[in-house]
Amino acid sequence: MLKFVKNHMESITGIEIYPMISLVIFFTFFVALFWWVSTAKKDYINKVSNLPFEQ
């Protein structure tokens, strides 16, 4: 089955851009997430982390 999918994908023109686009989206998301975590205020992190314990 993998051979069928590989042969089918090779026949589509312009498909080689999609792995690069997905890598850029993946990288951008995790860079933005890291930036958000590193700049988050300590009191906000404490408030959100204690939410499951509140009744």
Residue 9 domain-assigned (yes or no): no
| Confidence (pLDDT) at 47 | 93
Quote the DSSP letter at residue 40.
S
| Confidence (pLDDT) at 16 | 83
Q: Are 33 and 40 in contact (CB under 8 A)?
A: no
Report how far residue 33's alpha carbon sits from residue 27's, in angstroms, rounded to the nearest whole number: 10
- The residue ranking higher by pLDDT, 4 or 21, is 21
Q: What does the angle CA 22 – CA 27 – CA 29 come to, to the nearest 5 degrees?
A: 95
The pair of three-digit structure tokens given for residue 10, joined into one six-digit string: 């090779």
pTM, two decimal places? 0.62
Q: How many structural domains compose the chain?
A: 1
Report how far residue 9's alpha carbon sits from residue 32's, in angstroms, rounded to the nearest whole number: 31
Residue 6 domain-assigned (yes or no): no
Residue 38 domain-assigned (yes or no): yes
Residue recorded with tokens 């860079």 = 31
Residue 51 domain-assigned (yes or no): no
Containing structural domain, residue 34: 16-45
Residue 1's pLDDT band, with cuts at 50, 70 and 90, is low
- The residue ranking higher by pLDDT, 3 or 38, is 38
